Amino acid sequence: MPSLGMPAGRLFMELYGIAHHDFGSSPLNIEIRNMAFDRKDLSDQELIHFYRSILYPRMIEEKMLILLRQGRISKWFSGIGQEAIAVGATLALQEDEWIMPLHRNLGVFTSRGMPLSKLFMQWQGAREGYSKGRERSFHFGNRDYHICGMISHLGPQLAIADGVSLAHKLRHQTSGDALKVSLAFTGEGGTSEGDFHEALNLAAVWDLPVIFLIENNGYGLSTPTTEQYRCISLVDKARGYGMEGVQIDGNNLLQVYDTIKGVREYCLRHQKPYLIEAMTFRMRGHEEASGTKYVPSHLFELWEKKDPVKNYEEYLLQQNVLTPDSVSSIRESLRQQIEDELAIGFDTKPVVPDTASELNDIYAPSTTASGARVLDNAATGYQPEGPAREMRMIDAIKEGLLMSMQKHENLVLMGQDIAEYGGAFKITEGFVSQFGKSRVRNTPICESVVVGAALGLSLEGYKSMMEMQFADFVTVGFNQIVNNLAKIHYRWGQNADVVIRMPTGAGVGAGPFHSQSNEAWFVHTPGLKIVYPSTPMDAKGLLIAAINDPNPVMYFEHKALYRSVSGQVPSEYYEIEIGRARHVREGDEIGIITYGSGVHWAEDFAAEHPEISIDILDLRTLLPIDYESIRTAVKRTGRILVLHEDTLTGGIGGEIAAWIAEHCFEFLDAPVMRCASLDTPVPFSLELEKNFLPKSRLKNNIEKLMNY
């Protein structure tokens, strides 16, 4: 393989035989010369296997284009001209090493041996496909084949590769299992995304054996590389992250294979990431409907001479590895295989929607016993049985996390400053000395990649907890949460065993970017679970339940309650059921449905106004929400005020009010009212903040509802 220490530009020139002044930054401005193959120690049988491996996806694609014109499939993203990268990379890895491909990497799926018949079912959107008709073409994955498909945002799969490699590294340290690499594809357009920067940086900082493979085909849809970046070569970025990189001829199957095989050995030996830029060209449109009018015609003529299939075939003929007759025989064999597989693939049943099945697949079922006792404290007047002690909210959270770390050896904590420093709020203080830095991991300031890495850990059976230093900062990890974590089980059956702790809320004079209540952003996202405890007992039990749950859980913890609220907390390892509300106070005149700080505002008001019989329901879980407890609360009083700290418009109060109006109208004696924060950012001034928060309007809202 090429020298791993060779400067990328010089290697590029050697590959293409061009003078320095001809050197360009993309496939759009180079002079292409004959392709040179080097078989190294590959046997004739291996070379023929490689030929079948690269010819198969080409012939499948040619068939798909015919079926597309016939209207038998709806969409196709062609990888014609780029097959050598997907095929060569896959052949160079072990079958149990994860690959994160893109939508032109058919060769990854075929080289891993996925049956064309089922792939074709997938492409038709059939129920019998890999995603039950829920995902398009290559936007799916499969654990059996160690493939994690992309989402349309392109960059997020790079972070997943980081998490997978971290899992292998941790498992090797604890049990001596074999080290493995992961490989993630990206296009040259995807390198402009922040996810590319974050993923490479984290892999370098954590010394993760990840291969980042750029397919530079000249265009991001219609945007040429001249409008995408200004560096001479994308591989030059490697040095900026403290990693090695190499640029290769992405159309030379043997060079791709040999390079990635050698890079894999390097990554494992040195426990380092590596960046590869494979130069290629897209011979068809972004997808077939977009066409290629924006591409100068001479580029097709130029790159046709570099066709990866034709050039490799000619090489094998020249080397007498193949003969014209054997080429014809292989092609006919593959043609017949494709026809046979398609006959099976066409034999599918019409999709008949089953709403119950669709909703059931939003969440992964729990398949193992947690070992924690589930305590039912949902009724008023509950008192813990057995040993318990008075604890602040923050200490209860810490104890729940500590017990979970002791229970689950595969639980990894990640976040900014959570190691020796103990986190911004000191919840993980002392954890490093007990569990080590491998499991209590400081992260760079890169929320998106850490969420993605958490998903990668889950692919390999690890649990993870990520601490957002402040809930406000979740915006820079939003895509990974709502599009990767939340949707992955519904899309192809892979769970995301991830908890994200969200220190949230106002009342501490921290201003607009350290005080937001943003739980409603996530309640609108199917696939997530949202918990928001208001008491120490619930804080511990819900955190343990969240960590035991195989689904992604957003765990909101109010900063103002950390040290201001105390209560009796059982000493045992226990869970509070996710999805179950708690009846805080009995009343028959007015009901307050709330959560978080709102519970304490409501309790304080009720204590100050004994003349009003106030019923209080603490939701505790916002998704899935306990509608039966809401119905019961409505029946108890007939007058409902929904109280939350989040701003009024678009808050969860509107959803609850609408549900009550739709399902409990006959039990109402007055319209459902809402009490929430002002529709402004959270102000810094304490006086302005008090005016912003709904506590200042609670009395007026209750009086208005009582007088209706």
- Alpha helices (H) along 286-386: 297-304, 308-318, 324-346, 355-360
**Rounded distance, CA 331 to CA 342, Å?**
16
DSSP 123: H
196: amino acid identity, one letter: F
Phi, psi of 421 (to 5 degrees): -70, -30
DSSP characters for 135-191? S-TT---BGGGTB----TTSSHHHHHHHHHHHHHHHHHHHH-PPP--EEEEEETTGG
Secondary structure of 588-628 as H, E, C letters: CCEEEEECCHHHHHHHHHHHHCCCCCEEEEECCEEECCCHH
Contacts for 326 with CB less than 8 Å, ≥ 6 apart: none
Burial of 262 (0-12, 13-18, 19+ CB in 10 A): middle
- By three-state DSSP, how is residue 474 classified? helix
Phi, psi of 351 (to 5 degrees): -70, 120
**Rounded distance, CA 234 to CA 193, Å?**
13
DSSP 695: G
411: amino acid identity, one letter: L
In contact, 641 and 669? CB cutoff 8 Å: no
**Rounded distance, CA 635 to CA 495, Å?**
38
**Rounded distance, CA 185 to CA 190, Å?**
9
From the list 489, 514, 558, 600, the catalytic residue is 514
Neighbours of 5 (CB within 10 A): 7
Residue with tokens 């998490």: 163
In terms of residues, how long is the chain? 708
In contact, 171 and 124? CB cutoff 8 Å: no
- Sign of torsion, CA 296 298 299 301? positive
**Rounded distance, CA 703 to CA 708, Å?**
9
Angle between helices 83-92 and 253-270 (to 10 degrees): 40
Neighbours of 138 (CB within 10 A): 23
Can 21 be counted among the known catalytic residues? no
Q: Catalytic amino acids? A: 514
